[in-house]
Structure 1
Amino acid sequence: MAVDQRGYSAGARPDSIADYAIANLVSDIVGMAATLLTQTGNNTKFHLVGHDMGGSVTWAVAEQHPELLISTTVLSTPHKNAFAAAYNMSGNPQQAASSYISVLQGSGGEAFMLANFYGSYGGVVPDATLFVSRFQNDPGALTAALNWYRAENFTAEDGTVVTAPVTYIWGSQDPFLLKESAVNTANFCSGPYQFVQLPGHAHFLADEVPQDIASLLQQQFAAKLT
């Protein structure tokens, strides 16, 4: 099941930045999963897959609710502690790679995205024009998306580790999330852990190499059937 998270649906788009705090995003996933599992009659555990901001939420669910997860797969996004360690180190290239975040958090974030969206995603995301059109025609959708950044959920370092099983998939040419934090992520996973590096690929892995990602997910799911 692929679901619209809060802000990405007109019917679930709160106005306050505080509504996009990580606690609420985690609660959304847990609640949606419980509802879907009840409807399908399956067991109480599920596989969880997330990318980018969704990957950050996936990590948080894995930290807080490992008992709910059969497997955890994160595309591109390192564990928050690995990211924070790199970002907070003076002179680390992660700071420059993440410089766009402060722009998106500011009041000019919407204008910046509308001016640069297609240049950033065109040629990488096959349906980039559809995304741009959606944001242009529904400004509330863009503000809600940027409120994920404005809630400042994802740069604080703490002592948490993940005990749930994790597969972390990262593209070696990711311009936003660099190698140091990707490699360091292993240090914050105490359960079964697999790091899959995709050489020559960048950030939008599900769009760049959809068949490769699908195969990796199928392997992940099949390995946990027993």
Structure 2
Amino acid sequence: MTPKTGFETRFASNRNVKLHYVAAGSGPPLLFLHGFPDHSLGWRRQMEALCGSFRVLAPDLRGFGRSDAPRGHAHYTLLPHLVEDVLSVLVAEQLSQASIVGHDWGGTIAWWLAMRVPQVVRHLVVLSTPHPRNYLRAIADPTNARYFAYMRLFQEAGASAMPAPEKLAEWVDDEADRQALAESLRLSDPEAMLGYYRANIPLGRVPDIGQLPLVKAPTLVMFGAHDPYVPTNAYDGTFREVDNVTSFVVIPDAGHFIHHQAAGLVSREIEAWVSRPPSSFRSLG
């Protein structure tokens, strides 16, 4: 699939973990982080739309696609491993900063990157992903059990609960994109993908994660009004976590995978947000 897109195939390294990523274009760097069940080329539409003005980058997260899958759930903690993986891609591209776009697990990684390594995040764009504090509170709320039943099943049943790659890819409407995702998921490690849930979300009582650094980057949050995996009230209070301009875009007829379901709109919103200098957001206050 990669050669047909015209994207470059590259690799970064975080210690002994090799990370595959695709890249295209030139200009201000824009780094895309996928979620579950997805891969780097899940961002194809956004990358094709934006590579004329930006240097677009999208890794396969560790455990997915052509990236390494170290054994053991401890290798999939947000801190330090998943955040450092993003930094390794920036190092491979000789970048000190980029605008970061994340969806699902990629969105959670993006939030933590913006909190813990704020100097590298020029703009933050998160899709279908509440701030980690609010997300964990939503998971802990028993009234939201229907949203997170799949997550608990993964944690309790393990790899036996993981559907086949073709089944996991059914959410993609475009046939070529669906086949590309299924092929990538066949290369992925089921235990590694489960490691994200095992390492970062407690199986029992979900604790409050306490005081966290405020996000300093101008932050755009987009989500579908009919997301079956994230309750909309999980986005309440997001502005309290960001010390900058925060904007919300709610897409009325979309679910969880808005970068596919509303690809053009998502691409335009990203472009408009990251095209503005960060100082222009501050001047609004």
TM-score under structure 1 length normalisation: 0.84
2:225 is aligned with 1:172: yes
Does the C-alpha gap of structure 1 residues 97 and 7 become closer, same or farther in structure 2, counting only changes over 3 Å? same
Provide the aligned length of Structure 1 versus Structure 2. Answer: 217
Q: Please tell me the residue identity of whatever aligns with 1:21.
A: T
Q: Structure 2: where are the runs of 5+ without partners?
A: 1-56, 280-285
Show the counterpart of 1:104.
Answer: 154
Change (3 A) 1:133 1:166: same
Query: Shift in Å at residue 134 of structure 1?
Result: 4.1
Corresponding residue SS for 1:12: coil
**Structure 2 counterpart SS, 1:168:** strand
The 10-residue stretch of structure 1 (51-60 or 27-36) with the greater mean CA deviation from structure 2: 27-36
Deviation at 1:191, TM superposition (A): 2.1
In structure 1, the residue corresponding to 2:124 is in which secondary structure? strand
- Give the partner amino acid of 1:67: Q
Structure 1 pair 62–99 and aligned structure 2 pair: CA distance change class (3 A): same
Alpha-carbon contact 2:101-2:125 (below 8 Å) kept? yes
User: Per residue, is there more strand in 1 or in 2?
Assistant: 2
Q: Which residue of 1 aligns with 2:208?
A: 157
Q: Give, in whole Å, the separation in 2 of the partners of 1:168 and 1:111.
A: 30
Once the two structures are TM-superposed, the CA of residue 126 in structure 1 deviates from its matched residue by 6.8
**Of 111, 118, 132, which aligns to 1:66?**
118
Q: State the 1:220 CA deviation.
A: 1.1
> In the alignment, which residue of structure 1 is the partner of 2:90?
33
Distance 1:212 1:199 in 2: 12
Task: After superposing the two structures, state which structure 1 stretch, 6-15 or 202-211, moved more.
Answer: 6-15
What is the 5 A alignment of 1:38-57?
Answer: 38=95, 44-57=96-109
The verdict on how the C-alpha distance between 1:119 and 1:62 changes in structure 2, with shifts beyond 3 A counting, is closer
**Shift of the alpha carbon at 1:65?**
1.1
Identity of aligned residues (%): 22
Moved more, 176-185 or 2-11: 2-11
Deviation at 1:2, TM superposition (A): 1.0
Deviation at 1:222, TM superposition (A): 1.1
User: Do the aligned partners of residues 167 and 122 (structure 1) sit closer, same or farther apart at CA in structure 2, a change above 3 Å counting?
Assistant: closer
Q: Aligned partners of 1:221 and 1:131: how far apart in 2?
A: 27
Which range moves more in the overlay, 99-108 or 59-68?
A: 99-108
TM-score (norm 2): 0.68
Q: Does 1:184 align with 2:240?
A: no
The aligned amino acid for 2:218 is P
Give the number of the structure with larger relative contact order, counting CA–CA contacts within 8 Å between residues 6 or more apart.
1
11 and 219 in structure 1: CA distance in 2 versus 1, 3 angstrom threshold: closer
Choose from 56, 64, 81 the match for 1:8. Answer: 64
Greater mean deviation of Cα atoms: 182-191 or 203-212: 182-191
8 Å contact 2:74–2:199 — kept in the other structure?
yes
In 2, Cα distance between equivalents of 1:125 and 1:18:
35
More helix by share: 1
- Could you tell me how far apart the structure 2 residues matched to 1:104 and 1:196 are? 30
**AA in 1 matched with 2:246:** Y
- Closer, same or farther: CA 58–114 of 1 in aligned 2, 3 Å: same
Pick from 234, 242, 247 the counterpart of residue 194 of structure 1.
Answer: 247
Distance 1:60 1:225, change over 3 A: closer
> In structure 2, what is the Cα distance between the partners aligned to 1:4 and 1:116?
18
CA–CA separation in structure 1 for the residues paired with 2:260 and 2:75: 29
1:41 maps to what in 2? none
Residue 30 (structure 1) shift = 1.4
